[in-house]
Structures are given as C-alpha cells and as structure tokens.
Amino acid sequence: MDRGGCQMSGERVGPDQPGMISLEDLESFSEDQLSDSGNGSLEEAEAMEEDDERLLHYWQDIARGHQVEVSQDMAEPIQQLTSNNEGRSQREHVPFTLLARKEKCGNVLYEKRQYEKGHWACITMHEETYEQSICYGFMRLMKYICQQNTLGEYLGMTLPILTVVRTNENRSVMSSNVTVAYFIPNEHQAQPPQPTDSEILIEVWPATTVYTRPFTGPTNEVTIINQINTMAELLDPNGLCINDSYIVAGYTNPAHNNRQNEIWFLERP
C-alpha cells in the first residue's frame, strides 16, 4: 500500500502538487548528546552519524508498538526535528479565542472556541488502522516541515497535530480515511511554502467554531468512537454540530500512557 491527502470545507491553494510519533518520543536525547562529539571534523561527522542512527532506531522501536515501520529515509527529518527542539514552551500553538466553558464540580466538560481562517498542510491516509494512518501521515508531514518544501528550510513545529476522522451517521463506525493536518506557523501563513510531496495539500481552512473536550490515554478506533459519543451526550441534540466528521487534536505522542488529546466537534456554518 502506498504510504501516503485534507478536506474540511477547505480551499486548496498552490501548485498541483503516524498516534502521532512526536517530539516527546525523543526527549531522552538532549541537544548536548547530539552535539557532544570530538573537535576534529571527521570525528564530529562520525559522531553525528551515530547519533542519527540512534535516533532512528529509537523511533523504530517506538513505532513497532503501533505496527508501523520507520524507513531509513526518516533519519534526517528525525534529526532535524530533534535538534530544533527547544522545549515544549517554544512550540507554536494554533491560536484560538475561548468563547465559553462548561464545567461540573471543577472539571471542564467542554469548551467552545473560535479558530480563525488559516493555512494547513494536510495528507489523507488509508491504512488498516487509525494508529498506522496518523503515524505514516505525520512522518510524511515531518519531511515537509524539515526542508522538503520550496524554501528548503525547517519550518517549525506547531501544536496540536489534528486528525480528521469520519463516521457513519450514528457514530458507530469510523472510516478508514484519516486526514492528518499541520498548522503552518504564523510567519509563513501569508505565503506557505509548497511541499515537494504531491500528496500533501496546502489548504485554507475557514474560520470555525468548535466544541472541544480533553481526554487522556491512547487513541484508536475504539477510544475515539467512545469519546465522540461521550461528547455528543454532553451537547444539546439540536443539530448544532456536524455529525459525521470530527477532529482529534494530539498534543503528545500516542505511545505515552497519559497522552494529552482533545475531541473536537465542528459547529455547522
């Protein structure tokens, strides 16, 4: 199957042209480790090559738990993403305006937010499982983030990484088509760099009101369907939201036991 497309009422722009394994998987590798090599150029190059291989093998070990293969050509993007990691506080978050919050006994049941119009890089995957789709999709986006773009530059990581999932009308079965989306950093929003991967689309997503609820733990077909139905029970059943397309927002990697996620319902236009 080809490892490696986004429709959310978005407009495609530009020429015709996996949970997520994220930076948290690499926190055991510090920047000091990546640069702690000899002073000689040959020794330094050899040490850097060894570090690249260690990082690649680490990702491969993590991915195997999700039945995902990480190929050798991911070594450079992994190294770039790691060496540019300056801590979670430095990662740009998708901007939004909080409109309302519903709480019960001090716990947030859900929030109502407004996200403005913006450019997103998206790819739709068709793997056997949700976890495989988001892992392979994110790796394709990683290459775009890490220089495989018309600028030839590292673009910067943004959070959350979104996955658009589709279900049948009674929210009991999830489609195998999963769209993975990355928000283009603000400095590139006016002129988004185009991807060299023809299956990654740069789209303008319209301003959208979403109802969002946090949850922790792994994300797979079962947990997502459960979260969608839990959120549906909290919202008034008045046709306020789209009922066959939802978003899972991921802030940490899927292998983490306490992964931080959100389920998003999209308000009808």
Token code pair at residue 2: 């080809």
Q: Using alpha carbons, list the distances in angstroms from residue 220 to 2, 130, 234.
A: 21, 6, 21
Residue 137 sits in a domain whose CATH number is: 3.20.80.10
195 forms beta bridges with: 149
pLDDT at 257: 56
pLDDT at 20: 41
How big is the CA angle at 18 (ends 147 and 16), to the nearest 5 degrees?
50
DSSP-derived 3-state class of residue 121: strand
Lowest mean pLDDT among 22-26, 116-120, 137-141, 259-263: 22-26
Contacts 24+ apart (CB under 8 A), 237-240: 239/268, 240/267, 240/268
Residue 106 lies in a domain: yes
- Is residue 201 one of the residues assigned to a domain? yes
Q: At what angle do helices 41-64 and 75-83 cross, to 10 degrees?
A: 100
Provide the residue range defining the domain that includes 257: 11-18+91-267
- Domain assignment of residue 203, yes or no: yes
Q: What is the pLDDT of residue 33?
A: 39
Q: What interhelical angle do 75-83 and 130-145 show, nearest 10?
A: 70
Average pLDDT over residues 226-248: 88
Q: Is residue 69 assigned to a domain?
A: no
Q: Please provide the distance, in angstroms rounded to a whole number, between the alpha carbons at the two ends of the chain.
A: 36
Strands 158-159 and 92-93: parallel
Count how many domains the chain has: 1
44 DSSP 8-state letter? H
- Which two structure tokens, joined as six digits, stand for 37? 């090599």
131-160 mean pLDDT: 88
> Going by C-beta distance under 8 Å and a sequence separation of 6 or more, which residues neighbour residue 178?
124, 125, 126, 127, 130, 133, 134, 137, 163, 164, 165
| Domain annotation covers residue 32 | no
What's the pLDDT tens digit per position in 20-35?
444 344 333 333 333 4
What's residue 225's pLDDT? 94
For 85, the token pair is 């990691």
**Would 29 be classed as within a structural domain?**
no
| pLDDT number for residue 139 | 85
- Which range is most confident: 67-76, 205-214, 228-237, 248-257? 205-214
Buried/exposed code over 28-39 (b: 16+ C-beta within 10 A; e: otherwise): ebeeeebeebee
Residue 118 is predicted with a pLDDT of 97
Tokens found for residue 129: 């499982």
The contacts of residue 73 (CB under 8 Å, 6+ apart) are none
Q: Which one, of 253, 139, 154, lies nearest residue 200 by Cα? A: 139
Tell me the per-residue pLDDT of 73-127, one tens digit each, with 9 for 90 and over: 666 666 666 666 554 446 789 999 999 999 999 888 999 999 999 999 999 998 8
Q: Has residue 51 been placed in a domain?
A: no
This prediction's pTM: 0.75
Confirm whether 66 is domain-assigned. Answer: no
